[in-house]
Amino acid sequence: MGWADPHDADPAEDSMTIIAPSILSADFARLGEEVRAVAEAGGDWIHLDVMDGHFVPNITFGPALIKALRPHTTKHFDVHLMIAPADPYLAAFAEAGADTISVHVEAGPHIHRSLQTIRALGKRAGIALNPGTPASMVEPVLDLVDLVVCMTVNPGFGGQSFLPSALETVARVRAMAAGRAIDIEVDGGITPETVEAAARAGANVFVAGSGVFGGGPAAYARNIAAIREGANSATGRDGLRC
């Protein structure tokens, strides 16, 4: 099974609500099944958090796992690199099947080069920032990105509580990105209860781990629908992207 060309129907074109289940909260003993299940339940993207135990205090997985999951779905693979340095591994993640690759603005001094490399690999480029990082840090690279990831928890572990203070960053990024085809993603603590505030602040991509995977496979469709409904009710958006 192949995967969708990331440049077909750019998700930023109409700022549709995009729900991206994070496999960090999935059952790692059956990840292929879990990816298929959330895709069938209405997830728009699959979010993959790569951590190195250095940039963030946890270790997750690398390109080999992403490559192994790629045949299980044609859904957009949203790969979030919480690693430093990132540049030596960008080609490997691209070859593994990533559609969007996001690097952290805090992870190195040459972020322009990282983003240019991602785009040269034919992938959508994302820039991520931690809750304590000023939104102004991403302004110099906005012309190079398709996605800005605003962390709404301190990165490293799934299941953390949403940080309302991060919403100011979301709003500032959305204002800076005005007029550009850029998706604004929130990552961390997203549930039906927190998604409305994130959507009102300007986010249109919602990463949810335990908010989707909680309750087991029978609850996935219900959980995804509840998050989507909360986001859409806050903004008046409708529809979904497959």
Q: Would you state the pLDDT for residue 74? A: 98
Q: Would you state the pLDDT for residue 106? A: 96
Q: Would you state the pLDDT for residue 160? A: 63
Low-confidence ranges of the chain (pLDDT < 70): 1-14, 156-160, 237-242
Q: Would you state the pLDDT for residue 154? A: 81
Q: Would you state the pLDDT for residue 117? A: 98
Q: Would you state the pLDDT for residue 136? A: 96
User: Per the annotation, does 210 bind a ligand?
Assistant: yes
User: Per the annotation, does 189 bind a ligand?
Assistant: yes
- Whether 6 maps to a domain, the answer reads no
- Whether 165 maps to a domain, the answer reads yes
Q: Would you state the pLDDT for residue 159? A: 59
Catalytic residue flag (residue 146):
no
- Whether 8 maps to a domain, the answer reads no
How many domains is the chain built from? Answer: 1
Catalytic residue among 14, 146, 187, 238: 187
- Whether 98 maps to a domain, the answer reads yes
pTM (two decimals): 0.90
- Whether 73 maps to a domain, the answer reads yes
Catalytic residue among 44, 49, 78, 99: 49
Catalytic residue flag (residue 187):
yes
Question: What CATH number is associated with residue 125?
Answer: 3.20.20.70
List, as one string, the DSSP characters of the chain. Answer: -----TTSS-TTTTT--EEEEBGGGS-GGGHHHHHHHHHHTT-SEEEEEEEBSSSSS-B---HHHHHHHGGG--SEEEEEEE-SS-GGGHHHHHHHT-SEEEEEGGG-S-HHHHHHHHHHTT-EEEEEE-TTS-GGGGGGGGGG-SEEEEESS-TT-SSPPP-GGGHHHHHHHHHHTTTS--EEEEESS--TTTHHHHHHHT--EEEESHHHHTT-HHHHHHHHHHHHHHHHHHH-------
- Whether 216 maps to a domain, the answer reads yes
Q: Would you state the pLDDT for residue 239? A: 47
User: Per the annotation, does 87 bind a ligand?
Assistant: no
- Whether 240 maps to a domain, the answer reads no
User: Per the annotation, does 188 bind a ligand?
Assistant: yes
Q: Which domain holds residue 82?
A: 18-235
